Amino acid sequence: MITIIPEAPDNVAAFNATGEVTKEDFEKLVIPRVKEKVDQFGELNYLLYLDTDLDNFTMGAWLEDLLLGIKNLAKWNRTAIVTDKEGVQNFTDIFSVLMPGEFKSFPKENLYNALYWCKNGNEVEV
Protein backbone atom coordinates (compact mmCIF):
# COMPACT_ATOMS: atom_id res chain seq x y z
CA MET A 1 0.00 0.00 0.00
CA ILE A 2 1.23 3.49 -0.77
CA THR A 3 0.17 6.58 1.15
CA ILE A 4 1.09 10.25 0.83
CA ILE A 5 3.46 11.67 3.45
CA PRO A 6 1.45 14.71 4.59
CA GLU A 7 4.38 16.65 6.06
CA ALA A 8 6.16 16.86 2.72
CA PRO A 9 7.02 20.29 1.32
CA ASP A 10 4.68 21.57 -1.41
CA ASN A 11 7.17 20.90 -4.21
CA VAL A 12 7.78 17.25 -3.22
CA ALA A 13 5.66 14.22 -4.11
CA ALA A 14 6.38 12.04 -1.07
CA PHE A 15 5.07 8.54 -0.49
CA ASN A 16 5.26 5.82 2.15
CA ALA A 17 5.24 2.22 0.92
CA THR A 18 4.05 -0.45 3.38
CA GLY A 19 2.89 -4.03 2.96
CA GLU A 20 2.01 -5.08 -0.58
CA VAL A 21 2.40 -2.37 -3.23
CA THR A 22 0.20 -2.81 -6.30
CA LYS A 23 -0.36 -1.36 -9.74
CA GLU A 24 -3.52 0.26 -8.37
CA ASP A 25 -1.46 2.17 -5.79
CA PHE A 26 0.43 3.79 -8.65
CA GLU A 27 -2.65 4.35 -10.84
CA LYS A 28 -4.86 5.86 -8.14
CA LEU A 29 -2.36 7.75 -5.99
CA VAL A 30 1.23 8.04 -7.21
CA ILE A 31 0.71 8.93 -10.87
CA PRO A 32 -1.98 11.60 -10.24
CA ARG A 33 0.10 13.16 -7.44
CA VAL A 34 3.25 13.19 -9.58
CA LYS A 35 1.34 14.75 -12.48
CA GLU A 36 -0.04 17.42 -10.15
CA LYS A 37 3.48 18.31 -8.89
CA VAL A 38 5.02 18.36 -12.39
CA ASP A 39 2.16 20.56 -13.67
CA GLN A 40 2.49 22.90 -10.70
CA PHE A 41 6.29 23.14 -10.42
CA GLY A 42 7.58 22.08 -13.87
CA GLU A 43 9.85 19.47 -12.30
CA LEU A 44 9.61 16.40 -10.11
CA ASN A 45 11.01 16.15 -6.61
CA TYR A 46 10.08 12.66 -5.41
CA LEU A 47 10.56 10.81 -2.14
CA LEU A 48 9.76 7.18 -1.44
CA TYR A 49 9.96 5.91 2.14
CA LEU A 50 10.32 2.14 1.83
CA ASP A 51 8.73 0.56 4.88
CA THR A 52 8.32 -2.77 3.11
CA ASP A 53 10.49 -5.26 1.26
CA LEU A 54 10.89 -4.86 -2.49
CA ASP A 55 9.45 -8.37 -2.82
CA ASN A 56 6.11 -6.84 -1.78
CA PHE A 57 5.90 -4.78 -4.98
CA THR A 58 3.73 -6.65 -7.48
CA MET A 59 4.84 -6.92 -11.12
CA GLY A 60 2.15 -4.40 -12.06
CA ALA A 61 3.56 -1.96 -9.52
CA TRP A 62 7.06 -2.31 -11.00
CA LEU A 63 5.71 -1.73 -14.51
CA GLU A 64 3.78 1.37 -13.40
CA ASP A 65 6.89 2.67 -11.62
CA LEU A 66 8.93 2.12 -14.79
CA LEU A 67 6.31 3.91 -16.91
CA LEU A 68 6.23 6.78 -14.42
CA GLY A 69 9.98 7.13 -14.78
CA ILE A 70 9.95 7.04 -18.58
CA LYS A 71 6.98 9.40 -18.91
CA ASN A 72 8.56 12.03 -16.66
CA LEU A 73 12.19 11.43 -17.65
CA ALA A 74 12.96 15.05 -18.52
CA LYS A 75 11.18 16.36 -15.41
CA TRP A 76 13.09 14.42 -12.69
CA ASN A 77 14.91 16.87 -10.44
CA ARG A 78 15.62 15.24 -7.08
CA THR A 79 14.62 11.78 -5.89
CA ALA A 80 15.20 10.44 -2.39
CA ILE A 81 14.79 6.80 -1.47
CA VAL A 82 14.52 6.36 2.29
CA THR A 83 15.36 2.84 3.44
CA ASP A 84 17.61 0.86 5.73
CA LYS A 85 18.18 -1.77 3.04
CA GLU A 86 21.81 -1.47 1.96
CA GLY A 87 21.17 -3.08 -1.43
CA VAL A 88 18.50 -0.50 -2.28
CA GLN A 89 20.78 2.32 -1.08
CA ASN A 90 23.60 1.07 -3.34
CA PHE A 91 21.25 0.65 -6.31
CA THR A 92 19.90 4.19 -5.82
CA ASP A 93 23.40 5.62 -5.78
CA ILE A 94 24.35 3.71 -8.97
CA PHE A 95 21.03 4.57 -10.65
CA SER A 96 21.73 8.28 -10.10
CA VAL A 97 24.54 8.08 -12.65
CA LEU A 98 22.17 6.74 -15.32
CA MET A 99 19.17 9.05 -14.87
CA PRO A 100 18.71 12.77 -15.29
CA GLY A 101 18.31 14.62 -12.03
CA GLU A 102 19.74 13.71 -8.66
CA PHE A 103 18.98 10.44 -6.86
CA LYS A 104 20.06 9.89 -3.28
CA SER A 105 19.42 7.31 -0.60
CA PHE A 106 18.83 8.14 3.06
CA PRO A 107 18.52 5.87 6.11
CA LYS A 108 15.06 5.78 7.68
CA GLU A 109 16.05 7.90 10.67
CA ASN A 110 16.88 10.74 8.22
CA LEU A 111 13.39 11.11 6.69
CA TYR A 112 13.15 14.83 7.47
CA ASN A 113 16.62 15.45 6.09
CA ALA A 114 15.57 13.61 2.92
CA LEU A 115 12.44 15.78 2.64
CA TYR A 116 14.54 18.92 3.12
CA TRP A 117 17.02 17.74 0.46
CA CYS A 118 14.19 17.03 -2.00
CA LYS A 119 12.82 20.53 -1.44
CA ASN A 120 16.08 22.50 -1.41
CA GLY A 121 18.87 20.39 -2.93
CA ASN A 122 20.99 20.44 0.20
CA GLU A 123 20.86 18.76 3.57
CA VAL A 124 20.21 20.04 7.05
CA GLU A 125 23.33 20.65 9.09
CA VAL A 126 23.41 18.03 11.83
Q: What's the pTM value of the predicted model, to 2 decimals?
A: 0.83
Q: In terms of Cα–Cα distance, which of 118, 124, 126, 122 is closest to 37?
A: 118
What's the CA gap between 89 and 87, in Å, rounded?
5
- DSSP helix/strand/coil, 15: strand
Ordered per-residue pLDDT tens for the chain, 126 residues: 999 999 999 999 999 999 888 888 888 998 899 999 999 999 999 999 988 877 767 676 665 665 566 566 668 899 898 988 776 666 666 555 566 678 888 999 999 999 999 999 887 755
Q: In terms of Cα–Cα distance, which of 15, 18, 41, 39 is closest to 29?
A: 15
Sorted by sequence, the CB contacts under 8 Å of residue 99 that are 6+ apart come out as 69, 73, 76
Length reported for the chain: 126
